[in-house]
Structure 1
Amino acid sequence: MASKKTQQTEAQGVEAKDVEKNVELSDKEKAALEVSESAAQSEEQSGKKFKLADPKTSYQEAGFTLAGEQEKELPEYPSDQLVARIRSGFIVEA
């Protein structure tokens, strides 16, 4: 079953990749997009560190924890939840 976005773009005779090219992303969204693509290209992400946007908060999942002012590299294959936190701006590039 095609997604609603795909159905709409097909109805307009436009490919989804053309629609995505015309979207302007903020710096946070660009960083999140890089992270989500990192599962396939983890070597490019090595060396980049991430931290919490608000050091009064914390984030924890199996194998990855951030608290306070701590900065860490992402795991080789970040979870969907971790990528979602980066996209939302809860976790930012240090």
Structure 2
Amino acid sequence: MAEKKTTKAANNVAEDVELKDSEKTALEVQEAEAQSKEGSGQKFKLADPKTSYQEKGFTLVGEQEKELPEDPSDQLISRIKSGFIVKA
């Protein structure tokens, strides 16, 4: 379900943008990262357990559920935004 979020463009004009659930989750992860280096405490898993995701210091395979690293990479955030990785 899409949700509206008000953003400010470069010229400081407010603009309504509709976010998908996966985009909202990715934004929450980014905001939590900006506020605290302790991580979100939320567990994440793969949307399709037949796939896997691996990067230095973080791996998800099958039905595995994990908390995100303290400093999630841009690639990891983009996987959440695309819906490849979802909240458990």
TM-score category (smaller protein): 0.7 to 0.9
Q: Kindly indicate whether residue 65 of structure 2 is the aligned counterpart of residue 71 of structure 1.
A: yes
Let me know the Cα RMSD of the aligned residues. Answer: 1.7
TM-score, normalised on structure 1?
Answer: 0.75
Ranges in structure 1 where 5+ consecutive residues have no aligned partner? none
The 4+ residue runs of structure 1 with deviation greater than 3 A are: none
Distance 1:29 1:37 in 2: 12
Superposed displacement of residue 36, structure 1: 1.8
> Identity across aligned pairs (percent)?
68
Compare CA radii of gyration and give the structure with the larger one. Answer: 1
Q: 2:76 aligns with which of 62, 82, 87?
A: 82
Q: Deviations over 1:57-83 (max 9, x none)?
A: 000011100000000000011011100
Q: 2:48 aligns with which of 27, 50, 54?
A: 54
| Structure number with higher strand proportion | 2
Ranges in structure 2 where 5+ consecutive residues have no aligned partner? 1-8
Pick closer, same or farther for the CA change 1:50–1:23 going to 2, 3 Å. same
| Corresponding pairs, count | 79
